[in-house]
């Protein structure tokens, strides 16, 4: 019988898992007994450090280097993972990118980069993961969005557009694959203690804190705990959902 309280026996893949929220998710999964794999794009030192941190829980992770926008990388990652483990139960599409640019200074290549990483990446990895999940008629896909797709706030236009597209992608995909017992959900964190908050001018961060009910930034550990629940046996009847974790804006 499945142990609903943990991820024991689950095989999980996190894109962009070498630092920040992605690393926190990998570590949380490992603590719950899951087999963990992650992808990263370029920084070998970060990846080595992440691998060592995850291994502290007794789980030796699989690590894959490449761009989430590369179909060959996505296909080979999933193929290698399933060959090693025999299954894939959880995919977390976490890899993302943003730039703090007003639209007047936004070049076409900037738009393409953000849309490719934040939207095409989840499409590619979901596509290849689903070939396996549909066959075994079970699986979880969790897309990491952003509160900028849920609130009318000042945000880089291309970033907000990409996360809004990811929301639509989640809803449509959930409808399509629900018949195969595959769950697809979206988690949209607010400003966290890493990532976007470190790129914004301090007055923008202060504005967020003033509007937030809790008056503080979220932590990656808090988000990772929510992620763990969403892909665990405790969550059997939620799909197509959009969970906003923003401290009460």
Distance in angstroms (rounded) separating the CA atoms of residues 84 and 42: 23
Residue 151 falls inside a structural domain: yes
Residue 196 falls inside a structural domain: no
**Strand duo 35-40 + 139-144: pairing:** unpaired
Residue 217 falls inside a structural domain: no
pLDDT in tens, 124-178: 999 999 999 999 999 999 999 998 877 666 778 999 999 999 999 999 999 999 9
Distances in Å between the Cα of 225 and the Cα atoms of 29, 126, 187, 209, 249 are 9, 22, 12, 22, 20
Q: Do you know the residue count of the chain?
A: 249
Tokens of 246: 């923003």
Residue 17 falls inside a structural domain: yes
Residue 81 falls inside a structural domain: yes
pLDDT < 70 positions in the chain: 1-5, 151-153
Q: Which pLDDT score is estimated for 152?
A: 60
Q: Which pLDDT score is estimated for 129?
A: 98
Q: Is 38 exposed, middle or buried (0-12, 13-18, 19+ CB in 10 A)?
A: buried
Q: Which pLDDT score is estimated for 105?
A: 94
DSSP state of 198: G
Tokens of 26: 């990998």
Nearest to 156 by CA among 213, 212, 195: 195
Residue 57 falls inside a structural domain: yes
Q: Which pLDDT score is estimated for 155?
A: 78
- The residue range of the domain holding 64 is 11-191+223-241
The residues near 177 (Cβ < 8 Å, ≥ 6 apart) are 130, 133, 134, 184
Distance in angstroms (rounded) separating the CA atoms of residues 29 and 13: 10
Nearest-5° angle of CA 230, CA 247, CA 196?
Answer: 85
pLDDT in tens, 34-43: 999 999 999 9
Distance in angstroms (rounded) separating the CA atoms of residues 228 and 187: 11
Residue 151 and residue 249 in contact, taking contact as beta carbons nearer than 8 Å: yes
Distance in angstroms (rounded) separating the CA atoms of residues 249 and 59: 37
**Per the structure, how many domains does the chain have?**
1
Distances in Å between the Cα of 229 and the Cα atoms of 140, 185, 236 are 11, 12, 10
Residue 2 falls inside a structural domain: no
Please report, for the domain that includes residue 144, its CATH number: 3.40.50.720
Q: Which pLDDT score is estimated for 197?
A: 80
Residue 49 and residue 76 in contact, taking contact as beta carbons nearer than 8 Å: no
Q: Which pLDDT score is estimated for 2?
A: 45
Residue 92 falls inside a structural domain: yes
Q: Which pLDDT score is estimated for 200?
A: 81
Distance in angstroms (rounded) separating the CA atoms of residues 89 and 81: 11
The residues near 157 (Cβ < 8 Å, ≥ 6 apart) are 103, 106
Nearest to 23 by CA among 57, 46, 56: 46
Q: Which pLDDT score is estimated for 12?
A: 98
């Amino acid at each position: 019988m499945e142990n609903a309280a943990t991820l024991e026996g689950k095989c999980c893949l996190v894109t962009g898992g070498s630092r920040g929220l992605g690393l926190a998710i990998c570590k949380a999964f490992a603590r719950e007994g899951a087999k963990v794999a992650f992808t990263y794009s370029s920084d070998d030192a970060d990846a080595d450090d992440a691998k060592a941190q995850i291994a502290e829980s007794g789980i030796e992770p699989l690590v894959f280097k490449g761009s989430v926008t590369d179909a060959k990388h996505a296909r080979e990652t999933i193929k290698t993972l399933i060959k090693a483990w025999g299954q894939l139960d959880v995919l977390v599409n976490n890899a993302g990118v943003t730039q703090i640019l007003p639209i007047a200074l936004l070049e076409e290549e900037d738009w393409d980069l953000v849309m490719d990483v934040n939207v095409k990446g989840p499409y590619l990895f979901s596509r290849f993961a689903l070939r396996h999940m549909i066959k075994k008629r079970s699986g979880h896909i969790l897309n990491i969005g952003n509160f900028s797709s849920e609130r009318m706030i000042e945000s880089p236009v291309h970033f907000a557009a990409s996360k809004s597209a990811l929301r639509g992608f989640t809803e449509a995909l959930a409808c399509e694959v629900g018949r195969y017992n595959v769950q697809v959900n979206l988690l949209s964190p607010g400003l966290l203690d890493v990532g976007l908050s470190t790129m914004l001018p301090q007055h923008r961060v202060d504005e967020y804190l003033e509007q937030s009910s809790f008056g503080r930034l979220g932590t990656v550990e808090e988000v990772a705990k929510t992620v763990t629940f969403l892909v665990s046996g405790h969550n059997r009847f939620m799909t197509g959902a959009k969970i906003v974790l923003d401290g009460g804006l």
